Every structure is written in C-alpha cells, then in structure tokens.
Chain A
Amino acid sequence: DTGVSQDPRHKITKRGQNVTFRCDPISEHNRLYWYRQTLGQGPEFLTYFQNEAQLEKSRLLSDRFSAERPKGSFSTLEIQRTEQGDSAMYLCASSESGRDNNEQFFGPGTRLTVL
C-alpha cells in the first residue's frame, strides 16, 4: 500500500499525559499537512511542511502542540499535557509540490480520546 499511513490508529490517554503521533506520507510527496477533525465537523488545518520546513501554522496549534519533519519524510505531531478538548481525529495528508497542485491525499487518521 503506497498511501499515507498513520500510527497509531487509536490512542486513549489520561488528561495531562503527552502523546505523539506519526505520519508517513506518499513517498514522492514533499508536502505534508496535519488537520484535526471533531465530530460533525470538517477537518481543520493545523500545520504544513514543505520538505523539512514548517511553513504555516494555524491559530489552533497552541503552545502544547509541536510538529516536526526532521528529514523531510515522516512527520510527528506531539501534544503535551493533553486536555479533554484535544479529543479528536488527527489527520495527516500529503501532496506533490507545484503551484497549481492542491490535491491533498489523507491518511486514515489517529483517533485520540483524552479521559
């Protein structure tokens, strides 16, 4: 399977704990995106990488959130001191570079539940 993969698919944690999610994009895609989706809503943008550079961050990405893409391949999203409001589906997407190419391909998501 050469699509976007995410790990883990599900994570249950207690409030105050740190969690880290991983995303592996489609291999030839140099753009990588993180989104958050809550029940009944569409995905909301969190951040975007081109290769290893983090080029854009949403206001939703509070100080407790950090994302990295150290070698321009896989990416991690860490949430520190989790809160119940962080419970959501975290989606990763990737795309090819190119001014007119905005086709983003999504992974299956990581479902986070904060107790």
Chain B
Amino acid sequence: AQKVTQAQTEISVVEKEDVTLDCVYETRDTTYYLFWYKQPPSGELVFLIRRNSFDEQNEISGRYSWNFQKSTSSFNFTITASQVVDSAVYFCALSDGSSNTGKLIFGQGTTLQVKP
C-alpha cells in the first residue's frame, strides 16, 4: 500500500536558519512520482517540485533544495536561510502505478513557522 509519512508535525525556526522537512514514503512500485506542495495561511496549494523514481539527482531551486534517496525511501526538503514568508504547511505527496489516474497520496503535512 502507498503511504507518505511526515513525522514532523510542527517546526519553528528563527529567520535565516536552515530547516529540513522530512518525508518518508512507502510503495511497492518501481515507477512513482514524489511531490512537495506548499500551503500558505491563505489556504491554496502551491506546487513546488515533482521528482520521478528514476531520477535521484538532488535539485536546487534558489533557497530550496530536495534530497531524494531511494535507499531510505526519503524525499527531504531543505529551505536555506529561511524567511518569514516561508511560514506555511508543507505537504509531501506520492503518485504511483497502483493508480493509473495519477492520484496523489498526501502526508499529514509539516507546519513551518519562521519567526523574525
């Protein structure tokens, strides 16, 4: 069965600190996609990244970086030099071959609070 676990319920940091959000996933499929979405206080879901199971290269986009490790079934997200505007709930999600419709299975989310 597919499952996404975000063990950190809430994280609080001071501005300019680096912070890593953990995501562990379970799937029996060899082909799958992993996602991160940001949900700011206004409530919308903002797509951040998609990574397929065959691409283990880490990715960096500005202050954001993602570390995908198949050996540990983890897809962690790091924000460097955090800012107050990064305060949001962050969701990790999985889509695998058990569904041919591309549905997303979300983790519980991690609430990140960045204090000035």
- The reply to whether chain A is a binding partner of chain B is no
Residues of chain A at the chain B interface (Cβ within 8 Å): none
Residues of chain B at the chain A interface (Cβ within 8 Å): none
